[in-house]
A = this chain, B = another copy of it.
Amino acid sequence: MLNRGSGVTLWRQIEQILRREIAGGGVIPGGRLGTEHELAHRFSVNRHTVRQAIAGLREAGLVDVTQGRGIHVAESPLEYPISRRTRFSENLGRQHRTPGGRLIEAVVVSASVIVAEALEIAPGQQVHKLKTVGEADGRPVSVVERHFPAGRFPDMADRYRETGSVTAALAAHGCTDYERRVSRVTARLPDAEDADLLGLSRRRPVLVVESVNADRDGLPVEHAVARFVGDRVQLVFEPGNDLG
């Protein structure tokens, strides 16, 4: 398999072989490349030699190496463009990923201080709370919790259930256009429920995006808090997009 004394070091030969296997699709993204021990056995070399080869792949961003987990072929992150016209659910279609979503919860509650402030209503007012899980390729990528003023959008939950779309449900209430005002981004570890919904270990971070959408008149329409799987999602902010 390997060529000792050929003028090419063993680790570079191994790196090349693995590169070809990854490029050729021999191992699917997210799949295991095998443990260092296995690879060392396979190529009949020392573990250190394998490690040097892997270091090259890691440098090139072709694999993810995690202590205790193993060596995995890197997945191209889900790009999630965010601009004035971002619609959370309708965002993944462009990337040849099959989007999807399911409703977790739809209730009417009284607005917390934060929500009330964002929606510019009085605290304690009734708001619709919708919680959905967004999926790509059948795997969950986001948990979104939205709040809508119940006064202006009385049938929000029903309309959403009928159409499966926030945009459509808002349109059914006469709000045909809206755009994103601010996005606030933080990172933290998921709580038990989010970890469960996202199929995530509690040790792996989530990206938290808090946003407010407002209609043409500048009146807030929706307050949303989305949690994304941190290392599978890349939020892309492109100022230029906002102008279009």
Binding site for B on A (CB under 8 A): 59-61, 77, 82-84, 112-114, 179-189, 203-207, 228, 230-231, 233-240, 242-243
Contact = CB atoms under 8 A, between A and B. Distances in A.
Contact of A182 (B77, B84, B188, B236): B236
Given A61-B114, A187-B228, A205-B230, 5 more contacts: A185-B234, A186-B207, A186-B233, A239-B239, A242-B243
Nearest to A61: B114
A180 to B, nearest CB: 7
Contacts of A180: 239
A185 B231 contact: no
A187 B187 contact: yes
A188 B235 contact: no
A189 B84 CA distance: 29
Contacts of A185: 185, 207, 234-237
A113 to B, nearest CB: 7
Contact of A239 (B84, B206, B235): B84
A231 B188 contact: yes
21 contacts: A59-B112, A82-B237, A83-B239, A181-B240, A182-B236, A182-B238, A183-B236, A183-B237, A185-B235, A185-B237, A186-B230, A186-B231, A187-B205, A187-B207, A187-B228, A188-B205, A188-B231, A189-B203, A189-B205, A205-B230, A242-B243
A103 B213 CA distance: 40
Q: Which 8 pairs across A and B sit closest by C-beta, in order of nearness?
A: A187-B230, A205-B205, A187-B187, A185-B235, A239-B242, A187-B205, A183-B237, A187-B207
